Amino acid sequence: MTKNLLKKKPLNKDILVKLDKNEIEEIISKYPSNRKSSAVLPLLHLVQKKAGGWLPVHEMERVANILEMSYMRVFEIASFYTMFNIQPVGKYLLQVCKTTPCWLRGADNIQKCIKDNLDLDNGKTSKDGIFTLMEVECLGACVNAPILQINDDYYEDLDYKSTKDLLDKLKKNIKTPKGSKLGRKSSEPLGYKGN
């Protein structure tokens, strides 16, 4: 079994996503030539973006081939970091932060709103494949808690009502500005009028 996972397999080019050769080379060129495998995180990130938000096995095998690593090493990395998905996800990946500052500021209301409106539990994808819900740990934006990350964007200072508004718009494919839903710029104090 382990032997098979370490062995390089021929790739089926028909099922691979299109990657720009220059983009790959540019990523690899940022690292010493004898440390090609250091490029594994940005390369996985690029592939995941092109593959619809997750990393099928054949794409991880391709990254392994490009970086001359074993597939198992790439798989270990992809399955360790929560920013990589090794299962398919919906068009919109909803990541609710459940760490203490967000929890104290109402993360449960965001999750309740998602449950009420999309009938989604943690780790599940809606039947139409549009939404996936994931509970995550601190997203590093505690000053504007509670936070909901949708794909690459952060939606901040949310409550039940603003989350519902956000979901309703996503259902209609309407883009909503990211950032604070209380109108704060960055993490300025609420109500700040400037000097």
- Three-state DSSP class for residue 24: helix
CB of 145 to ligand FES, least distance (A): 5
Judged by beta carbon, residue 37 or residue 144, the one nearer ligand FES is: 144
Judged by beta carbon, residue 99 or residue 132, the one nearer ligand FES is: 99
Pairing of strands 153-156, 148-150: antiparallel
Judged by beta carbon, residue 55 or residue 102, the one nearer ligand FES is: 102
**Distance between CA atoms of 105 and 182, rounded to whole angstroms?**
13
Contact residues toward ligand FES (CB under 6 A) are 97, 99, 101-102, 138-142, 145, 147
CB of 125 to ligand FES, least distance (A): 23
CB of 104 to ligand FES, least distance (A): 9
R_g over Cα of the chain: 20
**Distance between CA atoms of 82 and 129, rounded to whole angstroms?**
20
CB of 82 to ligand FES, least distance (A): 13
Cα 118–chain centre separation: 19
